[in-house]
Amino acid sequence: MVLKAEALSKRLVIKAYHIEKLTLAQETAFKGSTLDLQEKHLSRYISDQPLVSNIEVGILNPGQLQKDVPAVLDVIPIACKALGNLGEGITHVLTGVCAVLTLADTSGKPPAQIGSSAGLLSEKMLTDRAGTPAKSDRIILVQVTLKEGAVYKRQGIMAAHRAADSYLQTIRDQLKNRDSQAYTEKHVYEDQLEPGKTDVLLIKLLPGQGAMHDFLVLPKEPCGVAGSRSIIDLGNMPVFLTPNEYRDGALRALT
Amino acid sequence: MGIGPSTKETTKHHFKDPLMELLGEDNDCRPAGVIVAGIAANYESKEFVIRRLGTWVSALKPDGVLVSMDSWGNSHLDFNLLLEQLSSLKIPAVGLCFEGVQAEPVTLNSSQSKVIDINKSADGRETEVLGENNINSQDARKALAMLKLLKKKQL
């Protein structure tokens, strides 16, 4: 590779905080390894999204996937920047828990083209895959309902992701301030040239054709929405990410 | 679902991408970077984007390229154009995408690059089960092993 070593020499530290219990509560807060989740009065998370009709938050504990959902829009890790920008500095991430975002419109229609994951989560979602929750994970179920017909619009899909992101940001804001020494795992990644090693470039081709054929690059928070750019808005043009930017949640799937 | 639930790469998939995890652990290789590009709707844009990808690759001069695609159907045009471009640049490349029996490429890969079918379903179709036909660590290991052999001109 022709890039100079210093061009890529960024260090990313990912600290994991394990969650052993989720509870529904008045306000979102961490209590040790328990995460309280705000259950009611969620309208403020959708007030700036006119296409969103409702948002609900629930909990699924391990073994409780017999839950009927309209369609799984995304599976989202919960992580935040505690220091620095995406791809460098310190990231805090929750383990033992992830968010599952589901979507339908007020008439019950899911956003689907060639098939839909509507049905029981236990039958429509495999666990322990790179893109799905682990069997032992606790799930924060974020269920967004759009106004009728909006599931087929690009703006509708974006609005659902923005609403979920707005809710998850309340968790991230508290995760940023967790005791920097109280982590359960720590991983350090150095982006640097290693003489003698084979340089392998990863090229990812992802859909950029409209609603449910889109993705976001470089959000402010790992795996987030705010601050990102849509690949369609970027004319589908290639975007280079360092390995650490990619590891730090530089992509948000809108597929 | 845009393409289909079983091939859909979620945000968590990108975060825990088996290809990146393997490249980070491998003794012989290291990840040189990730280039993401959109698959456009019309052919002129497809060609334009793939040409720009070719320019990136010829400037970066990596020792090898892994190409993964979360899509099928007309997207195989982009996929095969890119593999042909990499082949003409004499850069070893292995592609990973869903084919099964449902998504046989609309154009054939006429390049020296190799392609791995990431289908896991018994009947080779979109199963509507999230996570079923995604790239897993076994696909990643196979792809990297093929890339190493291509580099040594043993494949």
The answer to whether residue B30 sits within a structural domain is yes
CB contact under 8 A, B128 and A124: yes
**How near does any CA of chain A get to the CA of B127, in Å?**
8
CA distances to A4, A19, A77, A201, B71 from A168, rounded to whole Å, are: 38, 15, 10, 32, 28
pLDDT in tens, B8-60: 999 999 999 999 999 999 999 999 999 999 999 999 999 999 999 999 999 99
Closest residue, chain A, to B127 (C-alpha): A115
Residue A8's pLDDT is: 52
CATH of the domain at B70: 3.40.50
Higher-pLDDT residue of B44 and B107 is B44
Interface of A with B in 141-170 (CB under 8 A): none
Average pLDDT of the segment spanning A53-74:
96
Amino acid at A247: R
Distance from CA of A217 to the nearest CA of B (A): 9
Percent of chain A, pLDDT > 90?
A: 85
Encode A148-198 in three state secondary structure: CCHHHCHHHHHHHHHHHHHHHHHHHHHHCCCCCCCCCEEEEEEECCCCCCE
A49-53, A111-115, B122-126, B128-132: least confidently modelled range: A111-115
- Chain B contact set for A223 (CB, 8 A): 11-12, 14-15
Position B52 in a domain: yes
* Ranges A9-13, B27-31, B121-125, most confident: B27-31
Residue B1 inside a domain? The answer is no
Residue B15 within a domain: yes
Average pLDDT, chain A: 94
pLDDT tens-digit map of A127-182: 999 999 999 999 999 999 999 999 989 999 999 999 999 999 999 999 999 999 99
pLDDT digits (tens, 9 = 90+) for A208-236: 998 888 999 999 999 999 999 999 999 99
- Contact of A134 with chain B, judged by CB distance below 8 Å, is answered with no
Residues forming a β-bridge with A74: A101
Predicted pLDDT at A154: 93
Tokens read off for B1: 């679902």
Six token digits for residue A60: 């699924």
Nearest to B36 among A2, A77, A217 (CB): A217
For chain B, how many structural domains are there in total? 1
Neighbours of B28 (CB within 10 A): 11
Q: pLDDT tens for residues B71-88?
A: 888 899 999 999 999 999
How far apart (Å, rounded) are the C-alpha atoms in residues B3 and A114? 6
Instruction: State the Cα–Cα distance between residues A238 and A234, nearest whole angstrom.
Output: 9
What does the mean pLDDT of chain B come to?
A: 92
Instruction: Confirm or reject contact between A195 and chain B (CB < 8 A).
Output: no
A113 has a pLDDT exceeding 70? no
Q: Is A63 touching B (CB cutoff 8 A)?
A: no
Domain that holds residue B97: 11-151
Q: What is the pLDDT of residue A3?
A: 55
pLDDT at res. A212: 83
- Where helices occur in chain A by DSSP H, the ranges are 5-8, 121-124, 154-175, 243-247
Nearest to A200 among B29, B36, B39 (CB): B29
Please name which of A8, A109, A14, A96 lies closest in space to residue A59, comparing C-alpha atoms: A96
- Does B138 fall in a domain? yes
Which two structure tokens, joined as six digits, stand for A20? 């052993």
Residue B3 pLDDT > 80: no
B105 contacts: CB under 8 Å, gap ≥ 6: B76, B79, B80, B99
Q: Are A69 and A124 in contact (CB under 8 A)?
A: yes
To the nearest whole angstrom, how far is the Cα of B94 from the nearest Cα of chain A?
10
Say if residue A200's pLDDT is above 60. Answer: yes
Q: Model confidence over A24-44: pLDDT tens digits?
A: 999 999 999 999 999 999 999
Contact B38 A251 (CB under 8 A): no
Nearest C-alpha of chain A: how many angstroms from B14?
Answer: 7
Share of chain A above pLDDT 70, in %: 95
Evaluate if residue A74 carries a pLDDT over 90: yes
Q: Does the structure show a pLDDT above 90 at A47?
A: yes
Is A247 a residue whose pLDDT tops 90? yes
ipTM above 0.90, yes or no: yes
Instruction: Determine, for residues A1 and B32 on separate chains, whether the beta-carbon distance falls below 8 Å.
Output: yes
